Structure 1
Amino acid sequence: MGKIIISTNVSLDGVVQDPDGQEGFRLGGWFGQFGGKDLEAWAKISLEEAMGTEALLLGRRSDEWFAERWQSRSGEWADRLNSLPKYVVSSNLEQPRWSNSTPLTGDVVNEVSKLKQELDGDIVVYASYQLGRTLIEHDLVDELRLVVFPVVLGAGERLFGETSDKKPLRLVHARTIGDGLAFLTYQPVRDA
């Protein structure tokens, strides 16, 4: 059985919007600005994660974002990401943009539940906060991996949105990356 893992970079106040500053959000660019010299250590951890991943699960906009940035790259990390099977959730997408992708156009909850049954290993969700919110709401997430950047943005799209009820989590791992980034791993508490 597959394990759904949301892996994302967030500001201290949970903002995930426009980390590279190329989307036009007035507070964008926080990833490079506040990651600084810690980004080399971050890249090593991200490569390790990619090497241990069986598939990626993305929303349509994230598929476009990653395709634009990764398809032309080469090297161990890019080769791994580009070759991984990808599943792109969208109600109207006919052809995903990133290589080796399959569209999931049915009901999100049903499609992802089936995917978890069909695949073994880690199914990682990158940079897809709307999809992540749906997966969290329907208790489909098995783990959250958050790299917290040392900045409060005060505005912007956040990873977590409204839920129908409390979603208790257990911290299972915490460490620093370089001097300023926190890497936190949480798992849902299913029996709370």
Structure 2
Amino acid sequence: MRKVIVSAFVSVDGVMQAPGGPDEDIAGGFEFGGWTFHYWDAEMGKIMGDHLSASYDLLLGRYTYDIFAAHWPYAGDDDPIGQKFNSVTKYVATSDPDSLSWQNSVALDGDIIDAIRTLKAGNGPDLLTQGSSRLVQALIANDLVDEYRLWVMPAILGRGKRLFGNDGAPTNLTLVSSQAFSTGVCLNILRPDGAVKCGSFAHHAPSDAERERQRKMRIAEGLA
């Protein structure tokens, strides 16, 4: 059984678009490409290097695949991340499999979610996402994520491609570890932990005013 690990740089308001540079992804008129640059420090670089030197295959959406395929094969033999990304298998969600030119690239056949379920059930290294917001949202909606590695940057971007959409599978998460860095970044590693649990802070029966408020709310929401 293989794990699906979502690794992402995200702003406090959940935007993950174009963390690396101004020309990385301008879709939707995004103006903040490279927004993570000034939050990086040496300690973060070491931990990221450790993560990316482990055993895994990449699981990518087509947009991110094209960004990577235009960069990493040309990064040079002295770049360890480039060497790793070039050597691992890249599983790609694409409707144009014949155009995958980067070495060790494999198109996901047929229904993407079914193909990923088959990958997860097989043998091999874990499946690591990078970027790929649409694919990641589909993985979340279908309860296929086993671990999140979220590098939360102290920034609010307001708009852009987001990690979480509106149709994610409601899930409790367990915090495996959390580490803060000198620039205010927090790396949170989390794993799904069953259904969302709800409770109440109410200490007594609702007042007449509260019952009336709830009645009006149900009417407003079309539930009465």
Cα distance, 1:163 vs structure 2:
1.6
RMSD between superposed Cα atoms in Å? 1.7
The residue number in structure 2 matching 1:56 is 58
Q: 1:25-74 CA distances to partner (integer Å, 9 max, x unpaired)? A: 21222011x324x2x32222222112213201001111111111211112
Cα distance, 1:138 vs structure 2:
0.6
Pairing of 1:23-62 with structure 2 (within 5 A)? 23-24=25-26, 25-32=30-37, 34-36=38-40, 38=41, 40-62=42-64
Cα distance, 1:83 vs structure 2:
0.5
The residue number in structure 2 matching 1:10 is 10
In 1, Cα distance between the equivalents of 2:86 and 2:106?
Answer: 13
Q: Which runs of 5+ in 1 are unaligned?
A: none
Question: Normalization by structure 2: what TM-score?
Answer: 0.78
1:67 paired residue among 49, 66, 69? 69
The residue number in structure 1 matching 2:215 is none
| Structure index of larger Rg | 2
Pairing of 1:67-146 with structure 2 (within 5 A)? 67-73=69-75, 74-75=77-78, 76-146=80-150
- The ranges of structure 1 where at least 4 consecutive aligned residues each deviate by more than 3 angstroms after the TM superposition are none
Q: 177-186 vs 79-88, which deviates more?
A: 177-186
Q: 1:128-182 CA distances to partner (integer Å, 9 max, x unpaired)? A: 1110000011111000100011111111111100126522222111002343211
Cα distance, 1:96 vs structure 2:
1.8
Question: Normalization by structure 1: what TM-score?
Answer: 0.90
Q: Percent identity?
A: 35
In 2, Cα distance between the equivalents of 1:165 and 1:127?
Answer: 19
1:177 paired residue among 181, 185, 188? 181
The residue number in structure 2 matching 1:186 is 190
The residue number in structure 2 matching 1:152 is 156
In 1, Cα distance between the equivalents of 2:49 and 2:168?
Answer: 35
Q: 2:39 touches 2:183 (CA, 8 Å); kept in 1? A: no
Greater share of strand = 1
In 2, Cα distance between the equivalents of 1:117 and 1:181?
Answer: 34
Q: 2:137 touches 2:168 (CA, 8 Å); kept in 1? A: no
In 1, Cα distance between the equivalents of 2:48 and 2:101?
Answer: 22
Q: 1:147 touches 1:182 (CA, 8 Å); kept in 2? A: yes
Say which SS state the counterpart of residue 165 (structure 2) adopts. coil
Q: 2:137 touches 2:163 (CA, 8 Å); kept in 1? A: yes
Cα distance, 1:79 vs structure 2:
0.9
Tell me the number of residue pairs that the alignment of Structure 1 and Structure 2 aligns: 189
